[in-house]
Structure 1
Amino acid sequence: MRALRDVEAVPGRKQVRLGGLTWTFRPQVVLVPLIGLLLLVLVAALNIGRGSSHIEVLDVLRTLLGGGDRRETGIIFDLRLPRTLAGILVGAAFGLAGAIFQTIARNPLASPDILGITWGAGVGAVALITVGGSRGQVSGIVAELGVPLAGLAGGLFAGLLLYALSWRRGLDGYRMVLVGIGLSAIGYNVVYWLLTLGDVDDATRATTWIVGNLADVGWESIGPVAAALAVLVPATLVCVHTLGGLQFGDDTARGLGIRVDAARGTLLLLAAALAAVATAAAGPITFVALATPQIALRLARTPQPPIVGSMVLGALLTVSADLATRLVLPDLPVGVLTAILGAPYLIFLFVRSRKEART
């Protein structure tokens, strides 16, 4: 077998040859998720160690690897790990969904927040919490599984509406964003109307969920979201091979042998399901899906948002925001902080899009 050789293929890319096989890749595409994973481990350990009984980072890592005393093991695994693990799963799902939406629409403004997917999931979950709760139907296992399933159904329905209303001899990214803004407005108002139908306790519970909160997530909530993502993430990663061709336009994609409408429809539904599951688990933690694909794109210097990098940075951003709220304002839900940080970024994207349209 010939020795492993690493030669420069094109500017910014590396070509690796092993025997008769050749791979071409950008080093940043590999480095960004690797560095992101290291930072994620550090931030997650800091977040787990934070609390009324402080635990050092090294002690947290040792306990997670099987060491640590009984007291530290009980605190970490029973009380603190579910919150951080939920942040990782939810953030990764939002990052992956945002990368797919932005690539399909070829628009950096396309994200589950803007396109109405999260509010569609919100309608399903809040309807079950308020209307079902007021009738005594949400309790026990139904509460654990029903709310995520209702959120998933609402998000998928919003995704189907988005595709149906945006399609006109093809799927136009600009039209998709406009339709999505309309769906978001409808979902937002329906959610707050549903709050008036339930009793005070159900409305309070739903309101806490609406702002995006990881504080109340326990192991009973981790199971359903982990099971759903265990199916959706591999299915999405199998289908994303068509994204590279879809970014060049319909005619070019068809010339490459891609069934454009089927590929876009499948990816859109998978992305909607990812966003719906994440929203049902922790509420609509806004702007994670909007910002992380663009951050990953600029760090990796790729023409489209990198899939793995977006997932890792989505998890990192969510856990970092949760840690920041616990350090500064412990009672502040993580969704409020991401919204505060994301609003200026959204304005920046709008201004940048208008400038690019004029040039």
Structure 2
Amino acid sequence: MIKHKLSIKQPNPVQEGFYRRRVRIAVVTLLLLILTLFLCGTMLYLGNTRYSLGEIIRVLLGEQIKGATFAIGTLRLPRMLAGLLAGMAFGMAGRTFQTMLRNPLASPDIIGVASGSSLAAVFCIIILKISGHLVSLAAVTTGLAVAFLIYMLSRRGSFSGGRLILIGIGVQAMLNSLISFLLLRANQYDVPAALRWLSGSLNGMQMKSMPGLFLVVLSFGSVLVLLSRQLKILELGDQSAITLGLRTDRIRLALVFSAVFLIAYATAVTGPIAFVAFLAGPIAGRLAGPGSSNILPAGLTGAALVLLADSIGQFVFDIRFPVGIITGILGAPYLLYLLIRMNRTGGAA
């Protein structure tokens, strides 16, 4: 008599852990998407005059409604889209730098990239007396040039993330000094416009600026999402990445260029909205957990931060504040906390 032993397949802990991480990331991404859409709707609803959901939908579908078409279509919709798209750009770019350089301080608005765009915009506004697309073009071009300079200076011999951060902080200090010099030398009538731009604001957004911002976020954001697996490998270090067959220089250059273009273009449209790139990545990482580069969750977190901060700045206080002031208030305490924590742990965040 032959006895057949039934073998029961034991669960694989590695596969179970991988599945749980994937489910958690998917759930967090979905919840962040719902939150972002809710904040988008809130921005369209809030204002001096409040319209019903039906009226908002009819205006978005192109119907002409007296009063509502101007308030929603001309004022609120461009503001909401600018906050949504710029927040996603800042969030994805910030997370890319932080993951690639393995340092939560490696945010584009801390290592000088955003300051390059700001310097170009202030120079155009104060010295050249120009505005519009020329300011955006100068801001993007200068932001890319500054990022390329920082990258090349940090790549002497071999690439070093710590060297890039230190060089970036030094370049940022120099660029901020030049911005202060331009403001001191400027005509008093030009200073308010420059300061409004430097504070990071969604005031005065127009629909004609949105297609370009949308295309930039869609194209370069997609590159970052597609390269998220390679980005996670780069986090292991160059030696491990090369051993795994990764072309580190090409991948890193593609990541840096895409992230910098997102930051530079978003800064050109809205101004340097403080600390969004710095905050979005760590928040998304805490929510989604380890096991992924969290590029898309970071983008949604950045969008939610900008939309929420702008709503607070516009409707919570008696005086209306630009969105950059509110995000700066939120980000400064976290930066101090992070520095204290790194000091206590010997440099580990």
Distance 1:149 1:111 in 2: 22
- Which of 320, 335, 340 is equivalent to 2:324? 335
Distance 1:242 1:305 in 2: 9
Contact 1:240 1:267 in 2 (8 A): no
Please report how far the alpha carbon of residue 160 of structure 1 lies from its aligned counterpart in structure 2 after TM superposition: 0.9
- Which of 94, 102, 106 is equivalent to 1:98? 94
Contact 2:96 2:224 in 1 (8 A): no
For the pair 1:324 / 2:320, whether they are aligned, the reply is: no
Please report how far the alpha carbon of residue 304 of structure 1 lies from its aligned counterpart in structure 2 after TM superposition: 5.4
Distance 1:110 1:214 in 2: 25
Please report how far the alpha carbon of residue 59 of structure 1 lies from its aligned counterpart in structure 2 after TM superposition: 4.8
- Count, aligned residues: 337
Please report how far the alpha carbon of residue 69 of structure 1 lies from its aligned counterpart in structure 2 after TM superposition: 4.3
Aligned to 1:43: 39
Please report how far the alpha carbon of residue 32 of structure 1 lies from its aligned counterpart in structure 2 after TM superposition: 1.4
Contact 1:285 1:334 in 2 (8 A): yes
* Distance of aligned partners of 1:271 and 1:350 in 2 relative to their CA distance in 1, 3 Å threshold: same
Contact 1:99 1:289 in 2 (8 A): yes
Aligned to 2:339: 350
Matched residue of 1:114: which SS? coil
- Superposition pairs of residues 275-294 of structure 1, within 5 angstroms: 275-294=263-282
For the pair 1:180 / 2:185, whether they are aligned, the reply is: no
- Which of 174, 180, 186 is equivalent to 1:192? 180
Contact 2:209 2:269 in 1 (8 A): yes
Please report how far the alpha carbon of residue 60 of structure 1 lies from its aligned counterpart in structure 2 after TM superposition: 3.2
Please report how far the alpha carbon of residue 63 of structure 1 lies from its aligned counterpart in structure 2 after TM superposition: 4.4
Q: Deviations over 1:108-158 (max 9, x none)?
A: 11101111011011011111111110xxxx2xxxx3211111110111111
Query: Aligned letter for 2:249?
Result: D
* Distance of aligned partners of 1:344 and 1:305 in 2 relative to their CA distance in 1, 3 Å threshold: farther
Query: Aligned letter for 1:79?
Result: L
Greater shift after overlay, 232-241 or 30-39? 232-241
Contact 2:228 2:293 in 1 (8 A): no
- Superposition pairs of residues 301-312 of structure 1, within 5 angstroms: 301-303=289-291, 305-312=293-300
- Which of 194, 200, 222 is equivalent to 1:206? 194
- Give the alignment's TM-score, normalised by structure 2: 0.89
Contact 2:75 2:205 in 1 (8 A): no
For the pair 1:160 / 2:148, whether they are aligned, the reply is: yes
- Which of 26, 31, 36 is equivalent to 2:27? 31
For the pair 1:249 / 2:249, whether they are aligned, the reply is: no
Contact 1:98 1:112 in 2 (8 A): yes
Distance 2:226 2:133 in 1: 27
Aligned to 1:13: 18
* Distance of aligned partners of 1:358 and 1:50 in 2 relative to their CA distance in 1, 3 Å threshold: closer
Query: Aligned letter for 2:51?
Result: I
* Distance of aligned partners of 1:347 and 1:252 in 2 relative to their CA distance in 1, 3 Å threshold: same
- Give the alignment's TM-score, normalised by structure 1: 0.87
Contact 2:139 2:264 in 1 (8 A): yes
Distance 2:274 2:256 in 1: 19
Contact 2:95 2:277 in 1 (8 A): yes
Distance 1:158 1:51 in 2: 39
Aligned to 2:76: 80
Please report how far the alpha carbon of residue 66 of structure 1 lies from its aligned counterpart in structure 2 after TM superposition: 6.1
Distance 1:189 1:56 in 2: 48
Contact 1:89 1:315 in 2 (8 A): yes
Aligned to 1:300: 288
Q: Deviations over 1:45-88 (max 9, x none)?
A: 11121111122456535643567945433421122100011000
Distance 1:31 1:65 in 2: 30
* Distance of aligned partners of 1:113 and 1:198 in 2 relative to their CA distance in 1, 3 Å threshold: same
Matched residue of 1:253: which SS? helix
Greater shift after overlay, 217-226 or 145-154? 217-226
Aligned to 2:246: 258
Distance 2:194 2:99 in 1: 32
Structure 2 runs not aligned, ≥5 long: 1-10
Please report how far the alpha carbon of residue 34 of structure 1 lies from its aligned counterpart in structure 2 after TM superposition: 0.9
Query: Aligned letter for 2:306?
Result: T
Give 4+ residue runs of structure 1 displaced > 6 Å after superposition: none
Aligned to 1:151: 139
What is the RMSD computed on CA atoms of the aligned residues? Answer: 2.3
* Distance of aligned partners of 1:113 and 1:210 in 2 relative to their CA distance in 1, 3 Å threshold: same
Please report how far the alpha carbon of residue 308 of structure 1 lies from its aligned counterpart in structure 2 after TM superposition: 0.5
Aligned to 1:121: 117
Please report how far the alpha carbon of residue 234 of structure 1 lies from its aligned counterpart in structure 2 after TM superposition: 2.7
Distance 2:325 2:158 in 1: 36
Query: Aligned letter for 2:262?
Result: L
